[in-house]
Amino acid sequence: MFQENGYTKEEMKVTWECQKIMGLPNLPVSCTAVRIPTFRAHSEAITIETEKPCPPDEARALLMTAKGVTVKDVPADKVYPMPVSATGEYNVEVGRIRKSLVFDNGLDFFVCGDQLLRGAALNAVLIAEVATGVTDFETA
């Protein structure tokens, strides 16, 4: 069940229990817990800290314009990145975008991507395209 702050109750329990066990009620703890079926997609929980504030809605809008990214971020409707849905897709799925509980200008988000389609091989081709200016290696 998702909470108002964008975290699940399970994630908040990790924060609360760490603070309780350590006897540090203000201990900064943030985590992402996701139960997922996997096939061949990699998943990452990512926390970033920006120099200036970047609200989750602003980050979400920016990511929606990013090439190679599909934003899946409607937790209330159970729409978020999953390895099973990222498998077979060229784009990387990004979601669960929320303000970090730890960093003042921090964001937490979850990413899933097909390790064969968007992994090292495709990224090598994309880098080569930028470096050479050739954008269609099949006919080059």
Tokens of 14: 């990790």
Give the Cβ contact number of residue 27 at 10 Å.
Answer: 13
Task: Classify the C-alpha dihedral 77-78-81-83 as positive or negative.
Answer: negative
Question: Is residue 85 in a domain?
Answer: yes
Q: Where are the beta strands (DSSP E) in the chain?
A: 41-49, 69-71, 92-99, 106-114
Q: What is the pTM of this model?
A: 0.72
Would you say how long the chain is, in residues? 140
Provide the residue-wise pLDDT of the chain in tens; the chain has 140 residues: 889 999 999 889 888 988 998 899 998 888 887 776 677 888 888 898 888 999 999 999 999 999 889 999 999 999 999 999 999 998 999 999 999 999 999 999 999 999 888 776 677 777 788 788 877 655 44
Structural domain that includes position 118: 36-132
Query: How many independent structural domains does the chain possess?
Result: 1
Rounded Cα distance, 60 and 10, in Å: 23
Kindly report the CATH number assigned to the domain that includes residue 72. 3.30.360.10
